[in-house]
Amino acid sequence: MRLPLRLLAALLHLLAWTSTLLNIHAMPPPPAVQCNRTTGSSASGCTLYNTYGAWGDRKDCHIPNVTYPTTEEQLRLAVAYANRNKIKVKVVSKFSHTIPKLACPMISTSGSEEALLVSTAKLDSSIEVDAENLAVTADAGVGLRELIDRVEEAGLSLVAAPYWEGVSVAGLISTGAHGSSWWGKGGAVHDHVIGLSLVVPARPSEGYAKIIRLEPQDPLFDAAKVSLGLLGVISKVKLSLERGFKRSIAYNFTDDDRFEEVYVDHAKKHEFADITWYPSKHKAVYRYDDRVPLNMSGNGVYDFIGFQSNSILISKSMRATENTLENARSVSGKCTLAATTVGSKELLANGLRNGLIFTGYPVVGRQGKIQTSGSCLYSPTADIMTTCAWDPRIKGLFFYETTAIFPSPKFGDFIRDVKKLRDLKPENFCGVDIYNGFLIRFIKSSRAYLGHSEDSVVVDFNYYRANEPSSPRLNQDVWEEVEQMAFFKYGAKPHWAKNRNLAFLNVQHKYPNFHKFIAAKEQLDPQNMFSSEWSDEIVFGKEMEAKGDGCALEGQCICSEDRHCSPDKGYFCQRGLVYKEARVCRYSPSSIS
């Protein structure tokens, strides 16, 4: 096991270096909606995919009819068509990057039911920058990168954005996407929204659908900022901007002592602070990230390593290695991989570059080049074939992403608990450190009903997901315990665009204004046209009625009997080690009878 791992590590290093120097060509992600044209019928079936391939575990999302409006009026006609014919309608962006199946209109694959999917892939022509009033208005389907580039050309900056740029303007606000900041309006993009146009169903006399324009003083505004596509279709989004600025960034790779005590100070001291925690390595990485004036010298960029193109060969061998380590139950192999990953991130400053390469801290660059990245998305021609590492076509990375949002005061106690679990056996955490460890970010209190009403701390962690849903994963009891601690012991809220289903249990009771959101929905969409069984499952967070065998393996349930795990393969339903109320699937070979 040792040699191939070292080799892979060396390869990884090399690749990380070369891809920053060479311009390797990438294959863009597959389209979200794919149709079969083999049958002669015009109503031939289409399937909606998630860009991660995250929906393969259950029934595909079958789509009987999809439409690609290019104008607001075409969008209105599409909603009118659905309303007149009393069929379900859902919206999805060109990207479909959201992990829960919110955008899927129906369960049935029989084809007898009707439903309409509205794609905003072609609703992307207009970006109007109003420099005088520091605002930009964009069509719903405009990509975040395009929006930012236009804003920066006008000498302005969008202050908040998620770290990943492969999203649409309407899709990202709809799930509460965020970067990191407790300053000003804060790190969540929806708190920078100052106007929204929404297409909603209307009476026959009004033409079955109408466009409403919402402004901050409108009583529906706080419902519409984060709406999960449940209120209607957003046609335009207006965001507030600031005068263009630069940022100066340094990472401090240091020990993880007391980070659970200093996170508040860190967030208060630096406008765009975040922290990455690698528990198995006892390492915390503080991001010191502050705004500096435009005339400060520096043309740095942030091209996050995890979002850079990988050659298909490397992605596949990474995945193959991880599969092998899983099958061999090799904790030490995982730790070697984790050490290499964290080591190259430190060496390469996570993908920060002063110019062509990283030469040292601080890196100073324009906001538009620093906040968000995703270079694996571009360059359609192929010399060396490269993709995003998780591209479902290449058998590359496949992982779960747990994202929990805590009221700030509870976050320290959560980390103290996770540290207790870590200290029992630090190697068990190598599996998350192979990905991005625990990424800790900050979002400010928001008036959005499905946003966060107090200053909050977000933690994200990714870990191996098997291709075969029935395969248990190495140390899965650890991830399950952390997950249950976050969502049930500390009452954290799940990010709407990430997580496994169990994280959404009871979610509606965690939002004090949830009932106001539902009231707005009843007003705008009285027929529930924009809801489906899929989105109800997430939004109302109900427990499964009949828990199937193995349901805990993919986070469809919390185990209460061994059969919810995988007793054949030695995984039994047991208590948490630190959070005793947790019920997790733990490997315990001696229990096999």
Ligand X SMILES: *[C@@H]1O[C@H](CO)[C@@H](O)[C@H](O)[C@H]1NC(C)=O
Ligand Y SMILES: Cc1cc2nc3c(=O)[nH]c(=O)nc-3n(C[C@H](O)[C@H](O)[C@H](O)COP(=O)(O)OP(=O)(O)OC[C@H]3O[C@@H](n4cnc5c(N)ncnc54)[C@H](O)[C@@H]3O)c2cc1C
Q: Is 576 helix (H, G, I), strand (E, B) or coil?
A: coil
- Residues numbered 215-274 forming contacts with ligand X, rule: CB under 6 A: 252, 254
Sequence-separated (6 or more) residues with CB below 8 Å from residue 64: 43, 45, 46, 111, 113, 114, 115, 116
Asked if 96 touches ligand Y (CB under 6 A), the answer is: yes
Nearest residue to 234 (alpha-carbon basis) of 249, 244, 223, 247: 223
CA dist 539 → 87, 204, 525, 532 (Å): 20, 29, 16, 10
The listed partner (ligand X, ligand Y, none) that binds 497, CB under 5 to 8 Å by sort, is ligand Y
Determine the residue type at 236.
K
CA 347 centroid distance within chain: 26
> Which among ligand X, ligand Y, none contacts residue 98 (Cβ within 5 to 8 A by kind)?
ligand Y
Q: Which does 295 bind (CB under 5 to 8 A by kind): ligand X, ligand Y, none?
A: ligand X
Judged by CB under 6 A, does residue 90 bind ligand Y? yes
Question: How many other CB atoms are there within 10 angstroms of residue 414's CB atom?
Answer: 20
Binding mask 120-139 for ligand Y (x = CB under 6 A): x-------------------
- The reply to whether 517 sits near ligand Y by the rule CB under 6 A is no
Structure tokens at 399: 């992982």
SS (H, E, C) 69-109: CCCHHHHHHHHHHHHHCCCEEEEECCCCCCCCCCCCCCCCC
In whole angstroms, give the CA distance from residue 534 to residue 107: 7
- Residue 40 binds which of ligand Y, ligand X, none (CB < 5-8 A, kind-dependent): none
| Residue 45 in contact with ligand X, rule: CB under 6 A | yes
Residue selected from 16, 104, 116, 524 as contacting ligand X according to rule CB under 6 A: 116
Ramachandran region, residue 155 (left: φ > 0; alpha: ψ -120 to 50; beta: rest): left
Task: Point out which span in 81-89, 173-181, 355-363, 503-511 binds ligand Y (CB under 6 A).
Answer: 173-181
The site for ligand Y, by CB under 6 A, has a size of 29
Q: Is residue 117 near ligand Y by the rule CB under 6 A?
A: no
Determine, following the binding rule CB under 6 A, whether residue 360 of this chain makes contact with ligand X.
Answer: no
Per CB under 6 A, the list member of 5, 12, 80, 103 interacting with ligand Y is 103
Pair of tokens at residue 251: 């990472």
Q: Which of residues 178-217 bind ligand Y (CB under 6 A)?
A: 178
From ligand Y, ligand X, none, which one binds at residue 381 (CB under 5 to 8 Å depending on kind)?
none
Interface pattern 127-156 for ligand X (x via CB under 6 A):
------------------------------
- To ligand Y, the closest distance from the beta carbon of 423 in angstroms equals 29
H-helix segments, 134-258: 144-153, 169-174, 221-224
Q: Which of ligand Y, ligand X, none binds 112 (CB below 5-8 Å, type-dependent)?
A: none
Q: How far is the CB of 233 from ligand Y (least distance, A)?
A: 5
DSSP of 501-534: GGGGTTGGGG-TTHHHHHHHHHHH-TT-TT--HH
The one of ligand Y, ligand X, none whose footprint includes residue 91, by CB under 5 to 8 A per kind, is ligand Y
- Is 402 near ligand Y (CB under 6 A)? no
- What phi, psi does 24 have (nearest 5°)? -85, 145
Of 115, 116, 142, 167, the one binding ligand Y (CB under 6 A) is 167
Distance CA 126, CA 238 (A): 12
- The correct pick among 34, 125, 133, 523 for binding ligand X (CB under 6 A) is 34
Site for ligand Y in 28-47 (CB under 6 A): none
Query: Residue 469, SS3?
Result: coil
CB closer to ligand Y, 167 vs 557: 167
Residues 6+ apart with CB under 8 A from 164: 97, 307, 372, 373, 374
Nearest to 81 by CA among 63, 66, 70: 66
* Rounded Cα distance, 479 and 481, in Å: 5
| Closest approach of ligand X to the CB of residue 46, in Å | 6
Contact set with ligand X (CB under 6 A): 34, 36, 42-43, 45-47, 65, 67, 78, 81, 116, 252, 254, 293, 295-296
- Contact residues for ligand Y (CB under 6 A)? 90-93, 95-98, 102-103, 120, 140, 162-164, 167-168, 170-172, 174-175, 177-178, 228-229, 233-234, 497
